[in-house]
Amino acid sequence: MPFRALVVLSLIAFASSSTPIAQEKLDRDIYWKIRREATDNSQLMKTLQVLTDVYGPRLTGSPNLKGASDWVVKQTTAWGLKNAHLEPWDFGHPGWLNERLSVHVVSPVKDALVAEALAWTPGTNGPVTAQVAPLELPERPTKESLAAFLDQQRATVKGRVVMVGAPQAVGVTIDPPAKRREDADVRAQFSGAGAPGGPFGPPQPPQAPADKNILTANQVNEQLDQFLVDAGAVARVNDAGRDHGQIRAFNNRTFDVAKAVPTVVMRNEDFGRLWRLNASGRPVELELNIVNQTYPEGRTQYNVIAEIPGTDKAAEVVMLGGHLDSWHSATGATDNAIGCSTMLEAIRILNAIGVKPRRTIRVALWSGEEQGLLGSQAYVKEHFGTFEDQKPEYSNFAGYFNIDSGTGRARGMTVFGPPEAAGILREATTPFEDNGFFGAIATTSRRRGGSDHTSFNEVGLPGIGVQQDPIEYGTHTWHTNLDTYERIIEDDARQSAMVIAAAVYHLAMRDDQLPRLARDRMPALPTQ
């Protein structure tokens, strides 16, 4: 059925709904206008196309991310939003961008290979050709045992392209996970009886190593990288270890290109082929051409801010947003250009229909999320402080809505605070059950992680995480080279923008802010 026909049916169902609302006074006229504006004048896909096709990928510190941020300032101003600007914060590392990459096997066969550069590693300074040296690391090494093992390999890796680790065995998935959640399951979760979910489940506490002498994976990589530099290796190749050509390429965690050799992550299918050729007695030779650039100005990064000013409660603020930065292997469509486009569409809709909110409505697009929620952490610290050490703006904060789980439609919300806060959101969004949205539940976890709403939760403020249908997020597009515009479901994003706009408006108009946890009920910060 065409999208417009579906929306007409939704509008009819909305108009005839007799669902009782126990306490919250909903402005059904505004809710109607939100639906019509989202249907008739959507700018969502236009926004997405610019953020992905024009400015993707948007790695933190890169010129692409700065260009996207500047564009959002101009576009939101053109829509009529006020006070659009960039707020700087200290990233502390140079920016980085991969401009060109090609990897070919030239012996014993000739073929083009599929790979992505590891961020914050150097380029090759032109095409280089070298023989492959396979390197299998010992399991669970200590610093000393790894150093002894690597010292024995020094002559082997000099002048070679080092393939690190045997190829991972990636099995065939016979029964893939569902792309949609059943309404009954979602309704049960967000009725108040469920637990926070999503494509990756609730945040899990970090696991401490059983033996502190055993190196972590990051420590092994850092020690190995320095060894490869010192030993004169030409390049490093890692196995992506995923099916159907998926590649996740993250970064050299030192952010220092002098502490790594040129490094690529190769699709599992190509990595396995090269390894088998070499193991069968056929020496493998590769040609690599990698052009990477670093940008010192990337040490200063920016969050993008724009707003609809409030009226009688203008000093209080309701926020919505998502992270604008992405990883660099694709254009960052599902993670998280679609989330940013959805939030920009939600505030655009509210401004376009002429709302006069009592509280200021502020959209924020963060940078540095992929490196540890750094942009939102900086913003929260600057504006609000912490629960234990509050700044003046702390008491005027009325909630932050965050979306960051791909293209799937919004199905429910989690809010940091008492059950009463979830109850208000549940009632405010009841008219959108025809969109497949089924309410909200509360959480009292102050553990940072997952996405930017937890930066607010951590300091005791009501961060509101939007839970979505999984679609292909966790299985295919999350942080991979498949994360492109083509993987977006427009109808899902439009429906998400509607319900978020309505919820934001409701919080901006209530007499009181969302209830918060009393001081004696506020949990302590996690110790790790």
The pTM score is: 0.92
Burial class of residue 52 (count of CB atoms within 10 Å of its CB; 0-12, 13-18, 19+): buried
State how far the Cα of 39 lies from the Cα of 431, in Å rounded to an integer: 16
Tokens matching residue 269: 């299918």
Strand 463-468 and strand 397-402: the pairing is parallel
pLDDT, average across residues 482-495: 98
State how far the Cα of 430 lies from the Cα of 36, in Å rounded to an integer: 18
Give pLDDT tens digits for 262-276: 999 999 999 999 999
How far, CA to CA in Å, does 245 sit from each of 59, 114, 116, 118, 146? 21, 8, 11, 16, 31
Work out the pLDDT band at 485, boundaries 50, 70, 90.
very high
State how far the Cα of 71 lies from the Cα of 68, in Å rounded to an integer: 5
**By C-alpha distance, which of 15, 12, 38 is closest to 353?**
38
Work out the pLDDT band at 208, boundaries 50, 70, 90.
low
State how far the Cα of 239 lies from the Cα of 255, in Å rounded to an integer: 21
* DSSP states of 191-249: IIIS---STT-S--PPPPPSSTTBPPHHHHHHHHHHHHHHHT-SEEEEE---STT----
Q: What is the pLDDT of residue 95?
A: 98
Question: Residues with Cβ < 8 Å from 372, sequence gap 6 or more?
Answer: none
What is the layout of strands, in order, in the sheet containing 410-416? 82-90, 300-308, 359-366, 313-323, 397-402, 463-468, 410-416, 440-443
**By C-alpha distance, which of 114, 41, 30, 130 is closest to 350?**
30
Question: What are the two backbone dihedrals, phi and then psi, of residue 457, each rounded to the nearest 5 degrees?
Answer: -55, -40
Query: Does residue 18 carry a pLDDT above 50?
Result: no
Query: Does residue 498 carry a pLDDT above 70?
Result: yes
State how far the Cα of 46 lies from the Cα of 31, in Å rounded to an integer: 23
pLDDT, average across residues 378-400: 98
Give pLDDT tens digits for 82-100: 999 999 999 999 999 999 9
State how far the Cα of 242 lies from the Cα of 239, in Å rounded to an integer: 8
Mean pLDDT over each residue of the chain, to the nearest integer: 93
Tokens matching residue 369: 């999320």
In degrees, rounded to 5, the angle at the alpha carbon of residue 251 between the alpha carbons of residues 172 and 60 is 115
